[in-house]
Amino acid sequence: MFGIIRMIIVGLLAGYVGNYLMSGKADLNINCLLVGIVGSVLGHFVFGLIGLAAYGIIGELIVAVCGTCLFLYLVKKFR
């Protein structure tokens, strides 16, 4: 149960920060949460491919923000 709540909080923060970094707008809504969660999964996958691991809440947040920025970049490229 705590892992799900932690994932939602990290996803929301990552979506908020990633959205702000990529677009310059800071919106806090359900889209930020979804983008942050997808970005978190993508970030952990990519970091795992290159052999890096994140420990602790700060490490998870950094990986999630990087994944969110990558996800938003890919969405912009494919639009």
pLDDT of residue 49: 93
| CB contact at 8 A, 10 and 54 | no
Q: Which of 52, 53, 51, 46 is nearest to 71 (CA)?
A: 46
pLDDT of residue 1: 65
pLDDT of residue 53: 82
pLDDT of residue 10: 86
pLDDT in tens, 22-36: 887 777 778 778 888
Q: Which of 52, 76, 68 is nearest to 13 (CA)?
A: 68
Token representation of residue 29? 């809504």
Taking 50 as the pLDDT cut, the residues of the chain under it are: none
Report the predicted TM-score, pTM, of the whole model to 2 decimal places: 0.86
Q: Cα–Cα distance between 31 and 51 in angstroms, integer?
A: 30
